Amino acid sequence: MASTTFVAVLFLCSFLFLLAPTHSDGAVPPSATPVDPSVACNSSVDPKFCRSVLPRRGSLYDYGRFSLAKSLSDARKFFDLVGRYLAGHSSLSPTAVLALQDCQLLSSLNIDFLTSAGAALNYTDTLLDPQAEKLQTLLSALVTNQQTCSDGLQATAGAWSVKNGLAVPISNGTKLYGMSLALFNKAWKNRGRSKGNHSASELIPHRRGLLFHEAKVDGDRRIPLRMSAPKRELFERWSGRRLLQTVTDTVLVYDVVAVSQDGTGNYTTITDAVNSAPSNLDGTTNGYYLIYVAAGVYQEYVVVGKRKTYLMMIGEGINRTVVTGSHNVVDAVVGQGFVAINMTFQNTAGPAKAQAVAVRNGADLSTFYLCSFEGYQDTLYTHSMRQFYRECDIYGTVDYIFGNAAVVFQSCNVYSRLPRPRQSNTVTAQGRSDPNQNTGTSMLSCRFLAADDLAAGGGSTRTYLGRPWRLYSRTVIAESFVDALVDPAGWLPWNGSFALDTLYYGEFGNTGPGAGTADRVTWPGFHVISEGDAANFTVSNFILGDNWLPQAGVPYDSGLL
């Protein structure tokens, strides 16, 4: 955003600070009534910091807009500061440069998120639930992005001057972003019916999505896609699949290209195909950019950048279309609306390596269907935003589903592998660091199983459903099959008593020899939850999937079974 745009936003915030908005009936809404800063700040993580920043007089709306403008200014300054460090990178190690480049990407995303939030909130005092959920998601991601930048720098050997120079700006930015999130929730998000405030009659489960028809060809499901006749002919020739003509209006396709290592497609690498996609598709008006990836093992680092939105990638099946590597730099997705189907993503760094991330996903409204994620420690990084995984296989050892997205796994197979000697398996490590974030990991109708190597030689290995990576870690497992590999305690501490009274771990309606809760941990934050509580973590309620998953065409159950 140009500097003049920021000045305009700041001016608008100042102007709105003087004018308390009213409803159409002339009444002043509660959030527009002047309140003391101490009242406005009482739901923030750091009320003292919040009070020190806010003006001495204003309404919740005023404070929220003021905080967003201040956060945007801070995000721009931080982006410029990282750029200055990168400009002198000749003295830095390659890992330090990578960490700074990641900070640069994350801070650019924060600028985008704050710009979007400010533009939406400067003109309204009332938000419908989908828009409020979107803005809460953006503001939740600010805090996550800042934490990820800090983690990356701290894990970098050397570069002490960079770490020390960025430590205070990162800390101050985290406080500002947390304050903006808290004020948004107080003024806008919490004025309507909160998520999960539904009666039992409203929580009737139903199945959505028609992308894959029940008919099968070569063990795979047919794909009805709406595209022009020439593009349909191309897709059918590349894929060897005849598309069903009777349900062709399911998913709109803007264009289709093929990746094949033998040169028969448009591209020989996935990266080139991704780079060929147009920028900023919306998925509704012009549809998805469809990349068909032929069978093969693709040893490349794939990045789906923030401008590559509504990109759909379809492979030929798990273990047939494979994206692989043993790198520390992982395949990363941030482009909104990304969809992957029938593919394997793997990191072949073995259990002796500290990390083996296969995919880092920070793409809002992203979907993985019939995919496999294979690694050991830290396999699948569900980094941020809203995500959905259906009928996927996830393999790993330590914290192998981790991150701070609002994410639902549905009907997935979760395979714990054989770890290093004397090492325990932990399936999840959820990273919610602020109680105002709408994030968490929800695992519904999944199966928690031992991979072949663990089943054959892991008799003394203990496996747990998760441990708290951050202070407000939140994970729910419902209506799933839990095999005997899971320890009766269920959950593992991170470090002593850290987060045990602030986390939220819930289990509901699980079956199998490892599902019993009689011997589960007795932490204040662990709960055997009711059906009503579990319903808060369904596709419909937790990620508002009914509003966006039909566009992707994948099947899903919106409620509990």
Determine the pLDDT at residue 228.
64
Average pLDDT over residues 12-38: 54
Q: Is residue 216 over pLDDT 90?
A: no
CA 387, 114, 471, 540 torsion: positive or negative?
negative
In this predicted model, which residue has the larger pLDDT, 241 or 297?
297
Of the listed ranges 169-183, 189-203, 336-350, 519-533, the one predicted with least confidence: 189-203
Give mean pLDDT, residues 423-444: 98
pLDDT at residue 548 in the model: 95
CA–CA separation, 391 and 371 (whole Å): 7
pLDDT at 328: 58
In the chain, the percentage of residues whose pLDDT exceeds 70 is: 83
Q: Is the distance from CB of 477 to CB of 512 less than 8 angstroms?
A: no
Secondary structure of 117-169 as H, E, C letters: HHHHHCCCCCCCHHHHHHHHHHHHHHHHHHHHHHHHHHCCCCCHHHHHHHHHH
Euclidean distance between CA atoms 355 and 376, whole angstroms: 7
Report the pLDDT value the prediction gives residue 354, as an integer from 0 to 100: 65
**Average pLDDT over the chain, rounded to an integer:** 86
Reported confidence tier of residue 192, pLDDT bands at 50, 70, 90? very low
Q: What is the pLDDT of residue 30?
A: 66
Segment 135-159, tens digit of pLDDT: 999 999 999 999 999 999 998 877 7
For residues 176 and 153, give the distance between their C-alpha atoms in angstroms, rounded to a whole number.
Answer: 20
pTM to 2 decimal places: 0.89
What's residue 143's pLDDT? 98
- Residue 11, pLDDT above cutoff 60: no
Average pLDDT rounded to a whole number, residues 248-272: 88
pLDDT > 90? residue 248: no
Catalytic residue from among 393, 399, 434, 557: 399
- Report helix angle 94-121 to 160-187, nearest 10: 20
| pLDDT classification of 246: cutoffs 50, 70, 90 | very low
pLDDT score for 157: 74
pLDDT band for 224, please (50, 70, 90 cuts): low
Is it the case that residue 293 has pLDDT exceeding 60?
A: yes
Region of 499 (left: φ > 0; alpha: ψ -120 to 50; beta: rest) is: left
Helix, strand or coil for residue 176? helix
Percent of the chain at pLDDT above 90? Answer: 71
What's the angle, vertex CA 534, arms to CA 531 and CA 536, rounded to 5?
A: 120
Whether 80 is catalytic is: no
CB atoms within 10 A of CB 89: 15
**Helix/strand/coil for 247:** coil
Print the SS3 string covering 505-544: EEEECCECCCCCCCCCCCCCCEEECCHHHHHCCCHHHHCC
Model confidence pLDDT, tens digit, residues 388-398: 999 999 999 99
Give 239 or 368, the one with higher predicted confidence.
Answer: 368
Least confident of 20-34, 167-181, 308-322, 401-415: 20-34
- Report pLDDT for 356: 80
Residue 528, pLDDT above cutoff 90: yes
Q: For 60-114, write each residue's pLDDT tens digit.
A: 999 999 999 999 999 999 999 999 999 987 788 888 999 999 999 999 999 999 9
**Structure tokens given for 142:** 């600010």
Rg (CA), the chain: 24
* Residue 160 binned pLDDT confidence (cut-offs 50, 70, 90): confident
Can you give the pLDDT at residue 352? Answer: 63
Above 60 in pLDDT, residue 243? no
Phi, psi of 530 (to 5 degrees): -85, 170
pLDDT number for residue 527: 98
Please indicate whether residue 222 or residue 252 has the higher confidence score (pLDDT): 252
**Residue 457 banded pLDDT, cuts 50, 70, 90:** confident
Least confident segment among 39-53, 260-274, 316-330: 316-330
Report DSSP letters for 320-389, one per residue.
Answer: TEEEEE--SS-EEE-STT-EEES-EEEE---TTSS----EEE--TTEEEES-EEE-STT-EEE-SSEEEE
